[in-house]
Amino acid sequence: MTKKRAIDVQNLEIETLGPPKIDSPLLGSSLKGRDSEESIDWDAFFDDGHRILMDASLDSFERYKEQGAVPSSFEQAGARRKIYFDPSKVRAGILTAGGLCPGLNDVIRSLVMTLFYRYGVQNILGIRYGYQGLIPSFGHSLVQLTPSSVAEIHQFGGTILGSSRGNQSIEELVDSLERTNMNILFCIGGDGTLRGAHAIAGEIKQRNLKISVVGIPKTIDNDISMVSRSFGFETAVAKATEVIRSAHTESQGAPFGVGLVKLMGRDSGFIAATAALARGDANFVLIPEVNFDIDGPGALLVKLYERLKARGHAVIVVAEGAGQKFFLDEQVVKDASGNTLNKDIGQFLADKIKQYFQKLGQDLNLKYIDPSYIIRSAPANSSDQVFCSFLGQKAAHAAMAGKTDLLIGQWNDHFVHVPIAMAIAKRKKVDPMGELWSSVLERTGQPSLIAGK
């Protein structure tokens, strides 16, 4: 009888600085008003044995069971009964890096409130302008964060700590953590920020230091792997739907009217796809994951003309990273973090559409709208505010328990600990064969935009 091969279990274990031996202050607060320890609701606490399945489908579970393998699972995030750090000795640092995103201030506020009120941590420092704030040559001073100083910041967009891009020396960053006696570092940012956090955690481990590094994934594009939802995404979609509505109104207000909206999505089209699905006014949705042509039978310009002849107006939604194949002859430019800067597909399409209709001798009323900076600098909506509050709380719990080199994510409706190395291994993208994109095609009636098809 041939032995069945077990399914490989992905390494989802979380590193710790050492065994947690200190009773959590939250344990004492749970005892208040109770007659005995037996009356404590222990469901308020988790241990490392609480796991969340990566794939919760019945088919997947049966497959694992049949092949004698242990299903892959995440460690559940939340408060622990035993913690690693003595709160009175903790000196925590918080930084934000990369582009702006709704909810940054909300996460900062949640971290400060949880550390201060739930754990009694008194020394909480804001690191200004991302990783630059830890490099002496930039001259950015640290900021003392207290409940009073962060009390109202969730009402505003942006980040009170400022942000920056750029690759800093990992050795210098860890040197700075040592000099300032920080033993917890919270890094709020996207792919580049998390790569930096992972490298810092590696250097800390190599030096045998006791410093916890915890990431809170920030990407308005919702494109971080192993994270089902990132904060700011829902706010971005809500704002984007308003813009699409305006584009639709503009397109209806004139003969042969076209509303062209460029939304964020450098490598992944989640905002464009989700906003188009939510609003329902878009006729063409262009995202990085799905190829399209501009010229030729069956391509965008021909299909747009057919739509306008039939209905008199049209709305096109394009993600910023879509159609980059049209710029292959142009010089590649990167930002300070090493990310390739996309060429302006929105203006490119606007020019192409105008030129096409001019050749046809057909009048055209095109309105091009790029709300990117308005959306990303907006305050978080109520849904994202609640989500950010949970992220900050779970990050504080993880750090105080001595966990490191992890980020807080949400998976199968639970908050979990995700090794940073797994999250940065690849970028999450819209599946062209998946439910989201299929729903967009059904909602818009969009045909294939490949020439000749």
- Residues catalogued as catalytic: 221
DSSP state of 115: I
- Give the residue from 138, 116, 117 showing the smallest Cα distance to 129: 138
Strands 257-263 and 365-369: parallel
| Tokens read off for 446 | 């969009």
Per DSSP (E only), the strands in 77-204 are: 82-83, 91-96, 123-127, 143-144, 184-189
C-beta separation of 405 from 419 below 8 A: yes
Would you say 84 and 24 are in contact if contact means Cβ atoms under 8 Å apart?
no
Beta bridge partners of 212: 184
- SS3 (DSSP) at 185: strand
Amino acid 156 reads: F
- The whole-angstrom separation of Cα 33 and Cα 361 is 80
Helix H or strand E encompassing 26: helix 25-31
Cα–Cα distances in angstroms (integers) from residue 67 to residues 11, 13, 56, 110, 436, in the given order: 18, 22, 16, 43, 31
Beta-carbon contacts of 308 under 8 Å, excluding residues fewer than 6 positions away, are 256, 258, 314
CA-CA distances (angstroms) from residue 373 to 102, 262, 264? 11, 11, 9
Tokens representing 97 are 């890096």
Among the listed residues 270, 271, 215, 233, the one whose alpha carbon sits nearest the alpha carbon of residue 416: 215
Q: Could you tell me how far CA 67 lies from the centroid of its own chain?
A: 35
Helices (H), 52-190: 58-67, 104-113, 119, 147-150, 170-179
Hey, how many other C-beta atoms are within 10 angstroms of the C-beta on 208?
6
Q: Are 312 and 281 in contact (CB under 8 A)?
A: no
Q: Which residues pair with 75 in a beta bridge?
A: 51, 417
For CA atoms 224, 230, 234, 239, give the dihedral sign. Answer: negative
Closest CA to 406 of 197, 192, 174, 110: 197
Q: Report the C-alpha gap between 84 and 45 in whole angstroms.
A: 15
